[in-house]
């Protein structure tokens, strides 16, 4: 047993350590976060991607606890899946706990976790690890960074963070406390790289409220604001501005309704009495007295905003005097559906305000100057950029170098890399192979590359099944039935289907006896279909021997 | 017959009049552009989207000619499909003609068009239309705008344009000529809206060259620059900078190789002797003497850059001292593959420079000030924003209003709207219903919403086919065969497949005689599969009566 600290970032697909990080010292393990990712566009039909728990499975008895830095899905979404395999004590802030409780109850695994609430300044001893929590700004309240004191030194994990230093908001990070931590000596800083391509500081949340003020001052009809259901500070801003402008607020979209109710109950939202109004009753108010907070800012087709845009919303029909604000930025991959919804709303005559036109959103992640400030406050010996794709890590590494960290103390890792750290050194000592674990429907891990490849072929050109009816006695092919889906519009392609059938029958009957008839027919049909249509549908040949009783 | 000019924008999916615009006066028609669009991400398996030619088909004998404003696919890509239906005289600038000739030859329709070359200042009489051409800046050389004199007045069509007024490039638009045109009186301006969300002027191409200068001055290894194959001015910049920095230039990627050869032959690229080097021979040169211009800046998986990033390029292996420049911006919908390639290249150790980090690309479309300047120079009576989605049209309309056009003279159209214009008025008089015409493989128009819906289901959860073998005599189901693809990994799900088979057999055999057995089995299997897996694959039931000879 060596006296080294091991740090292993796991999961997060292209992002490093986004979903989970393991800390190991001797026979003790501490887990930070347990999140899930949404699939990329070419992960056909997949619902979620979660970390590979293989390494944890064999070490379940070493785990001293699991800390959640904040309540977003990419840090909490895989918790139910891990809890199905092992019971764990979980530590998180009050709001994160509220969100986790809802999730664990939905998934029926509430009894598998002991949830413990921690807050700013708390110290928590878990085996050889002593974690101190400090509040950070992010796009959800109650986000935490960690200072983990270990036998080899102090490791700081930023969580998802920005330094909203110009803000009057509660929960702005205590820069003096961070500087004191730096004074005590930080061995390693692991910091959020997401915003590393953006120059300057991330603008304060304040500027969004200023934009809302202008919009509310000018709009004569209803104001509909779409944002993330977890972005409770934004929801608070809408409520504050609406109250100042004498508008009632309706909440729309299931996750928004649930989150607002929960946050109000827990005291994370201050809503004056008589402010909220039922979405079904807004038509009783003059449009100039109504504001609506809705889900759907990422173009999700089932969410409230998309239903308004396509005219299938049960309670809201878009009018030309509506003002609609998309208070969010499209996550890469979502640009197409977001733009489509903007276009649809504009075509209904509404005035649509989005990030390209006005400052209606700011990021929850620090930009280059936030990142440099954190590094300069903490002055770590080693630096590890996390929470971002390689392009962000790479930029963050440059910023760290500019902030005085020598290149040889800057560590750029891949998921699964095992970093070994002692008082003097840090190096990648090993690598734990990670599979990409897909959740599809109710099943975890049964869909892999082979199934995705099939779905890709089916998505592109559909399939053709040719069923060869064999004569039981002579083994000759007597007839062929053809079915297809996603290949051609069958009703208008009857003649093509008949030709496919004839071609299959011809090839099958001309095949020498006891040859591989199915293979021959398959190859022949693939060639035939490519020639006739320029397409490559999946071709499947099934033989059924007629076995009549 | 009324003495009105009719203008109908067609095609372009979400963009208005992007692919084609019709001008009709009496029994005369002039077509401007004939382009195709790339499909959106949810147009499964579609290769191209082209305009609906139904309206043109019945009026083929009225067509006086077709003008191509420039050589990009979204303005020329559907020409072969239209020429298959009718022969036409086509008018375009020299480079556009060179590109069109290659395309028509590839598609075997060269004999269906008479190609005529026009240039800046040319006047062309086509029935009652007299078109004058003026050069505009765009991301391909030889782009043209049109002033079309008609019996009711002059209509100006900007083409895709920007006003690169700070540029020393040839072909900068003649602002004085535009002002003179404005002085003569412009009835209607139809102008490119694409950049209407961007404040200021589009930066001059010059700044890209300045960035290249810095990059070439600093890089010690090879420099690989990916950009659009049609962006010949960018290719020229790379060559100029490479020559100044004593580097040879290799060209990589089929469309880039073809375009560079064609443009060099036609005199659109100035390449000093001994500058170009075969990509297969670059390893004989020191890395510091090599620059490579490659395709793949949009993340296309088969293009040169993607093959370098994934390590399957035949001639180029990425090294840590390579500098790679993505001189392009990701088109909405392509962000994911572009980011993935950037990450892969960074993970191979290369220094990757892209638009978020440095000004390595400028748009080919004018920004708000370009757009306002064009309006102020031409002072049209009516204004029609084209070439952009509704969000761009909407912004462009605002800019026109700010530039002095009254709201009632600003016309925002949809594709298929028929604008009727005379000396005094302009209004939408009719609408021509437009189908979205999909090209899939070699076939045009046979894939519609039903096939796409099937592909979507198949993409998400695959399919299950249950084949019921019926007894010819008793009509009872004797056996069931099950095949599936894209649903579960069959090799590891043998037990599930057996249970599906058993369930189908049970339901089929329990069905009352002469009931709709197939429907019953289908519904039962859909329920069973959803319960077992949480998935909704396409379920197809086939009955085959065993008919043994």
Nearest-by-Cβ selection for A441 from B41, B356, B533: B533
Contact predicate A295/A332, CB 8 Å = no
Nearest-by-Cβ selection for A446 from B447, B471, B488: B488
Q: Is A270 helix (H, G, I), strand (E, B) or coil?
A: coil
Quick: pLDDT tens for B390-425.
999 999 999 999 999 999 999 999 999 999 999 999
Could you tell me which chain B residue has the CA closest to the CA of A441?
B534
Nearest-by-Cβ selection for B460 from A44, A463, A465: A44
Q: Is the pLDDT of residue B155 over 80?
A: yes
Q: Is B290 helix (H, G, I), strand (E, B) or coil?
A: strand
Q: What pLDDT, on the 0 to 100 scale, is given for residue A79?
A: 97
Contact predicate A159/A330, CB 8 Å = no
Average pLDDT score over residue span B269-295? 97
Q: Mutate which of B455, B539, B541 to test chain A, going by most A C-beta atoms within 10 A?
A: B455
Q: What angle do CA A39, A43, A49 make, to 5 degrees?
A: 40
Residues of A in contact with B471 (CB under 8 A): 548-549
- Taking CB atoms and an 8 Å limit, are A448 and B389 in contact across chains? no
Q: What pLDDT, on the 0 to 100 scale, is given for residue B514?
A: 67
Distance of CA B385 to the CA centre of its chain: 19
Average pLDDT score over residue span A523-527? 97
Q: Mutate which of A363, A458, A481, A499 to test chain B, going by most B C-beta atoms within 10 A?
A: A458
Quick: pLDDT tens for B66-93.
999 999 999 999 999 999 999 999 999 9
The span from the CA of B41 to the CA of B71, in Å, is 25
Q: Mutate which of B459, B470, B475 to test chain A, going by most A C-beta atoms within 10 A?
A: B459
Residue A190's DSSP bridge partners are A157, A384
Q: Is the pLDDT of residue A546 over 70?
A: no
Contact predicate A169/A205, CB 8 Å = yes
Contact predicate B326/B297, CB 8 Å = yes
Could you tell me which chain B residue has the CA closest to the CA of A531?
B442
**pTM of the entire structure?**
0.92
Average pLDDT score over residue span A79-97? 96
The span from the CA of B76 to the CA of B66, in Å, is 11
Helix (H), strand (E), coil (C) string for A145-207 = EEEEEECCEEEEECCCCECCCCCCCCCCCCHHHHHHHHHHCCCEEEEECCCCCCCCCCCCCHH
Give the residue ranges of DSSP H helices in A462-545: 494-510, 517-533
CA end-to-end span of chain B, whole Å?
70
Q: What pLDDT, on the 0 to 100 scale, is given for residue A549?
A: 35
Catalytic residues of B: 192, 365
Crossing angle of helices B175-184 and B368-378, in 10° steps, is 50
Nearest-by-Cβ selection for B455 from A458, A481, A547: A458
Split at pLDDT 50, 70, 90, the class of A512 is confident
Q: What pLDDT, on the 0 to 100 scale, is given for residue A548?
A: 39
Average pLDDT score over residue span B340-346? 97
Q: Is the pLDDT of residue B511 over 90?
A: no
Residue B276's DSSP bridge partners are B249
Split at pLDDT 50, 70, 90, the class of B320 is very high
Q: A491: which DSSP letter?
A: G
Quick: pLDDT tens for A206-221.
899 999 999 999 999 9
Phi, psi of A8 (to 5 degrees): -130, 110
- Taking CB atoms and an 8 Å limit, are B446 and A493 in contact across chains? yes
Count of Cβ atoms closer than 10 Å to residue B117 Cβ: 13
Residues of B in contact with A414 (CB under 8 A): 347
Q: How many alpha carbons fall within 13 Å on the CB side of residue A229? A: 22
Split at pLDDT 50, 70, 90, the class of A164 is confident
Q: Given the DSSP bridges, would you call strands A351-353 and A382-386 parallel, antiparallel or unpaired?
A: unpaired
Give the gap in angstroms from C-alpha A197 to the nearest C-alpha of chain B.
6
Average pLDDT score over residue span A304-323? 97
Q: Is the pLDDT of residue A300 over 90?
A: yes
Higher pLDDT, B540 or A547: B540
Give the gap in angstroms from C-alpha B315 to the nearest C-alpha of chain A.
25
Question: Given the structure tokens 């220094």, which residue do they identify?
Answer: B351
Distance of CA B284 to the CA centre of its chain: 38
Count of Cβ atoms closer than 10 Å to residue B330 Cβ: 20
Q: Is the pLDDT of residue A473 over 80?
A: no
Residue B189's DSSP bridge partners are B156, B383
Higher pLDDT, B333 or A527: A527
Quick: pLDDT tens for A1-45.
568 999 999 987 889 999 999 999 999 999 999 999 999 888 999
The span from the CA of B147 to the CA of B181, in Å, is 8
Residues of B in contact with A465 (CB under 8 A): 465, 483
Could you tell me which chain A residue has the CA closest to the CA of B357?
A197
Summary mean pLDDT of chain B: 93
Q: Is the pLDDT of residue A403 over 50?
A: yes
Split at pLDDT 50, 70, 90, the class of B427 is very high
Residue A136's DSSP bridge partners are A143
Could you tell me which chain B residue has the CA closest to the CA of A39?
B336
Residues of B in contact with A394 (CB under 8 A): 346, 352
Q: Is the pLDDT of residue A280 over 50?
A: yes
Between the CA atoms of B46, B50, B55 and B61, what dihedral angle is there, to the nearest 10 degrees? Answer: -130
Of B228, B232, B150, the C-alpha closest to B190 is B150
Nearest-by-Cβ selection for B45 from A42, A461, A469: A461
Q: Is A366 helix (H, G, I), strand (E, B) or coil?
A: coil
Q: What pLDDT, on the 0 to 100 scale, is given for residue B548?
A: 39
- Taking CB atoms and an 8 Å limit, are B486 and A44 in contact across chains? yes
Q: What pLDDT, on the 0 to 100 scale, is given for residue A171?
A: 59
Q: Is the pLDDT of residue A547 over 50?
A: no
Average pLDDT score over residue span B13-40? 94
Of A454, A427, A424, A430, the C-alpha closest to A440 is A454
Q: What pLDDT, on the 0 to 100 scale, is given for residue B516?
A: 86
The span from the CA of A370 to the CA of B107, in Å, is 55
The span from the CA of A370 to the CA of A255, in Å, is 31
- Taking CB atoms and an 8 Å limit, are A390 and B535 in contact across chains? no
The span from the CA of B440 to the CA of B49, in Å, is 9
Q: A223: which DSSP letter?
A: E
Question: What percentage of chain A reaches a pLDDT higher than 90?
Answer: 85
Q: What pLDDT, on the 0 to 100 scale, is given for residue B2?
A: 62
Q: Is the pLDDT of residue B12 over 80?
A: no
Phi, psi of A511 (to 5 degrees): -65, 140
Give the gap in angstroms from C-alpha B100 to the nearest C-alpha of chain A.
23
The span from the CA of A153 to the CA of A147, in Å, is 10
- Taking CB atoms and an 8 Å limit, are B346 and A394 in contact across chains? yes
Q: Which two tokens stand for residue B26?
A: 């009496």
Count of Cβ atoms closer than 10 Å to residue A502 Cβ: 12
Q: What pLDDT, on the 0 to 100 scale, is given for residue A2?
A: 62
Q: Is the pLDDT of residue B435 over 80?
A: yes
Q: How many alpha carbons fall within 13 Å on the CB side of residue B217? A: 6
Which whole-number Å values give the CA distances from B368 to B157, B197, B213, B379, in the listed order?
Answer: 17, 7, 28, 16
Q: Is A235 helix (H, G, I), strand (E, B) or coil?
A: helix
Contact predicate A13/A29, CB 8 Å = no
The span from the CA of B371 to the CA of B528, in Å, is 59
Q: Which two tokens stand for residue A338?
A: 């977001």
Task: Outline where DSSP puts E strands in B109-211.
Answer: 113-117, 123-126, 129-136, 143-150, 153-157, 188-192
Question: What percentage of chain B reaches a pLDDT higher than 90?
Answer: 85
Helix (H), strand (E) at residue B116: strand B113-117
Q: Is the pLDDT of residue A169 over 60?
A: no
Question: Given the structure tokens 């397409």, which residue do they identify?
Answer: A535
Residues of B in contact with A474 (CB under 8 A): 549
What does the buried/exposed string (b/e) look like for A182-199 if buried means 16 or more CB atoms within 10 Å of the residue's CB?
beeebbbbbbbbbbbbbe
The span from the CA of B249 to the CA of B246, in Å, is 10
Summary mean pLDDT of chain A: 93
Of A49, A52, A41, the C-alpha closest to A455 is A41
- Under 8 Å CB pairs connecting chains A and B tally to 228
Average pLDDT score over residue span B471-481? 84
The span from the CA of B341 to the CA of B324, in Å, is 11
Q: What pLDDT, on the 0 to 100 scale, is given for residue B547?
A: 46
Higher pLDDT, A511 or B201: B201
Contact predicate A200/A349, CB 8 Å = no
């Amino acid at each position: 047993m060596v006296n080294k600290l091991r740090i292993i970032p796991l999961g997060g697909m292209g992002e490093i350590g986004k979903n989970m990080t393991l800390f190991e010292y001797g026979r003790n393990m501490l887990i930070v976060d347990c999140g899930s990712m949404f699939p990329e566009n070419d992960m056909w039909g997949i619902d979620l991607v979660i970390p590979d728990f293989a390494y944890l499975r064999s070490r379940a008895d070493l785990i001293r606890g699991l800390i959640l830095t904040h309540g977003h899905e990419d840090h909490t979404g895989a918790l139910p899946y891990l809890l199905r395999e092992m019971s764990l004590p979980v530590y998180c802030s009050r709001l994160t706990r509220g969100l986790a409780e809802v999730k664990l109850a939905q998934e029926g695994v509430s009894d598998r976790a002991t949830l413990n609430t921690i807050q700013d300044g708390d110290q928590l001893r878990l085996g050889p690890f002593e974690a101190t929590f400090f509040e950070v700004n992010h796009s959800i309240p109650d986000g935490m960074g960690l200072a983990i004191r270990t036998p080899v030194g102090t490791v700081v994990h930023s969580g998802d963070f920005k330094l909203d230093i110009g803000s009057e908001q509660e929960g702005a990070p205590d820069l003096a406390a961070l500087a004191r931590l730096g004074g005590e000596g930080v061995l390693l800083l692991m910091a959020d790289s997401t915003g590393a391509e953006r120059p300057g500081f991330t603008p304060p949340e304040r500027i969004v409220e200023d934009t809302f003020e202008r919009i509310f001052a000018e709009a004569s009809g209803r104001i509909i604001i779409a944002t993330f259901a977890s972005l409770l500070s934004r929801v608070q801003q809408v409520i504050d501005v609406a109250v100042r402008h004498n508008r009632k607020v309706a909440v729309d979209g299931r996750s928004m309704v649930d989150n607002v109710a929960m946050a109000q109950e827990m005291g994370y939202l201050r809503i004056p009495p008589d402010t909220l109004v039922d979405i079904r009753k807004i038509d009783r108010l003059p449009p100039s007295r109504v504001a609506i907070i809705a889900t759907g800012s990422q173009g999700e087709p089932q969410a409230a905003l998309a239903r308004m845009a396509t005219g299938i919303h049960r309670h809201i029909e878009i009018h030309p005097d509506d003002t609609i604000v998309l208070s969010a930025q499209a996550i890469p991959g979502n640009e197409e559906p977001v733009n489509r919804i903007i276009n649809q709303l504009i075509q209904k005559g509404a005035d649509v305000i989005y990030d390209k036109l006005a400052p209606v959103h700011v990021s929850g992640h620090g930009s280059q100057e936030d990142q440099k400030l954190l590094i300069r406050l903490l002055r770590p010996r080693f630096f590890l950029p996390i929470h971002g794709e390689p392009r962000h890590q790479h930029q963050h590494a440059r910023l760290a170098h500019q902030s005085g960290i020598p290149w040889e103390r800057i560590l750029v890792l891949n998921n699964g890399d095992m970093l070994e750290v002692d008082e003097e050194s840090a190096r990648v000592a090993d690598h734990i192979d990670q599979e990409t674990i897909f959740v599809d429907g109710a099943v975890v891990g049964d869909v892999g590359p082979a199934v995705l490849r099939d779905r890709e072929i089916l998505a592109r050109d559909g399939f053709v099944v040719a069923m060869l009816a064999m004569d039981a006695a002579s083994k000759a092919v007597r007839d062929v039935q053809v079915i297809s889906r996603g290949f051609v519009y069958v009703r208008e392609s009857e003649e093509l289907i008949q030709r496919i059938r004839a071609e299959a029958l011809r090839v099958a009957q001309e095949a020498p006896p006891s040859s591989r008839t199915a293979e021959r027919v398959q190859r022949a049909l693939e060639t035939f279909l490519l020639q006739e249509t320029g397409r490559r549908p999946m071709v499947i040949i099934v033989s059924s021997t007629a076995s009549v009783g």
